[in-house]
Amino acid sequence: MLPNNLGDVIMATPVLEGIKAKYPGCFCAYFVEDGFEAGIENNLYCDEIIKFPRKEIKRKLASGNEEEGIDFFKKVLRDIKNKNINIIINLFQHPYVSFIASLIKDKNIIGQYFLKEGNHAVLDAWSQYLYAVAFARQCNNLHAVDVYRRIAEVKDHGDGYTIQLKDEEKVNAQRYLNEKKCDPEKKIMLFQAGAALSSKRWPVEHFIKLGSMLISGGWQIVVTGSPSEKDCAMGIQQGIGQNCIVAAGETSFRQSMAICSLAAGCVTGDTAQMHASAGCKVPTYAIFGSTNPVETGPYGTGHYVFSAHCPNRPCFETECKTGICMRSVLPETIYACIANGDPGDSPRCDVYTTLVEKDGDYRLIALSRNAYAYFNPVDAYLTRLAFEKNIGSSNIPLSEFELSIRETREWLDDLDAMRKFLENYLKTRNNAAVKEFERLKTLMIRFKGIGAFWTALLNIRLNSVPLLDPNEGINKSLEACRETFHQISYAIGHYGL
């Protein structure tokens, strides 16, 4: 289950491939919202697409006659239940899917689900990791796909997304390009200029300049996008002049993917088209501003990522008044990578190439000197070590661990004190002990480094405890504290620190 955002749906495809490799005879269904299925259609590893009519249910609920919406929702649920699903893997973090997971099955759910006791629970370790990352991004060096694969407990995959286009779709795309007088002798560079968030958009004048450089180098340009991005695409076409085709507003996302599969490259922001391009194994030149290419970059080998040389990234701002970071990625730098495979000696932005090892993880490799890292390597190593013991030793000097170890030790001291208060409550039934536990828990927000990740992890576990029976709740909270203490102690104990 990862039902919406076109890019997110594509990011779940390696999980399907991994599941089929691990359980060859299994039947795999993908739960997706109506209208977001383009990235999963025709996928070899997906036996069925379960389209969930969320918008239609929402519309009926908002019509004033809620009963109609509720009855329709119940019917949809019944149909899904009748499929006798054995295991649910919920990768989506919105609560509405958590409720649905629980309504479809009462056990064997990986990821978030709703307890009849009245709270949401995330009980598997890697889903807890996924949820904790949002509170301490500097502690994570894993791509979302690689976290999803760990949640689903699958290792094997190819070297990227799996997008399958029918021959007919490619033929239709070629026919469309022919009708647009696309020159069959010239290589196509796809431009995806629009993006959902303004902070993800590269300036139109940069697209125009890059387009002009490419056309001088013998390329032709196709600008894709949704109907709302057509004006922007037309502006680029006007700026470039000849050998630039506007497909924006004329094609579905699936058709854009088919056109992309015929291209020799794609220049894009952090968009669904970026994931589609990487999935089509088309060299992708991805420009990142406020978002994080470590977590959501073009998954695959040999793509390029460009981002501002800025220590505050990723800021995750949705709107940006200055646009400085996107503006600082120059067309010349991207052109150098397209033409020579290298950004040259002194690009004004940070440039990376992507690598996915077979059955391994995605990583960014810096091509420019002094490129900022998107994560703290020590914190990322320690948090990984707490979750997987077999990651091998790090080549980071021991002295660099000092700060993170000190913060972790302080954090563990707090956790140990919290544990003692719960044990004290179970012995004495004195409510003051629980209040002290809560007070210490609140104080944990003071940790800003690796402690912020540990705090998030602990809170996710404590929030997953069913609270209907107070005694059971305290016992399970105590269990969560002990488990977390041992897990983190192992990570720092590994170094004898």
Question: Which residues contact other proteins by CB under 8 A?
Answer: 4-5, 33, 35-36, 54-55, 57-58, 61-62, 64-67, 69-70, 73-74, 77, 94-96, 99-100, 102-103, 114, 116-119, 196-198, 318, 467-468
**Do 425 and 436 touch, CB atoms closer than 8 A?**
no
Residue 321 C-beta: closest distance to other proteins, Å: 15
CB 43 within 8 A of CB 158: no
Which residue in the block uniquely carries the two structure tokens 């799996």?
162
Residue (118 or 311) nearer to other proteins, CB: 118
Strands 120-122 and 109-114: antiparallel
Q: How far is the CB of 36 from other proteins (least distance, A)?
A: 7
Report, in Å, the least distance between residue 459 CB and other proteins: 18
Nearer to other proteins, 64 or 397 (CB): 64
Smaller CB separation from other proteins, 114 or 375: 114
CA distance 314 to 307: 10
Residue 173 tokens read as 């795309």
> Smallest gap, in angstroms, from Cβ of residue 95 to other proteins?
5
- Cα–Cα nearest to 251, from 175, 145, 352: 175
Burial (0-12, 13-18, 19+ Cβ within 10 Å), 390: exposed
How near is the Cβ of 52 to other proteins at its closest, in Å? 10
Residue 55 CB, nearest approach to other proteins (Å): 8
Q: Smallest gap, in angstroms, from Cβ of residue 98 to other proteins?
A: 8
DSSP 416-443: HHHHHHHHHHHHH--HHHHHHHHHHHHH
Nearer to other proteins, 103 or 403 (CB): 103
**DSSP letter at 201?**
P
Closer to other proteins by CB, 252 or 318: give it.
318
Q: What is the DSSP letter of 458?
A: H
DSSP 349-360: EEEEEEEE-TTS
Question: Among residues 140 and 199, whose Cβ is nearest to other proteins?
Answer: 199
Nearer to other proteins, 164 or 255 (CB): 255
User: Which of 268, 376 has the CB closer to other proteins?
Assistant: 268
Secondary structure of residue 261 in the 3-state scheme: helix
Beta-bridged to residue 29, according to DSSP, are 48
How far is the C-alpha of 110 from the C-alpha of 116, rounded, in Å?
16
CB of 444 to other proteins, least distance (A): 23
Question: What is the CB-side half-sphere exposure of residue 458 using CA atoms within 13 A?
Answer: 30
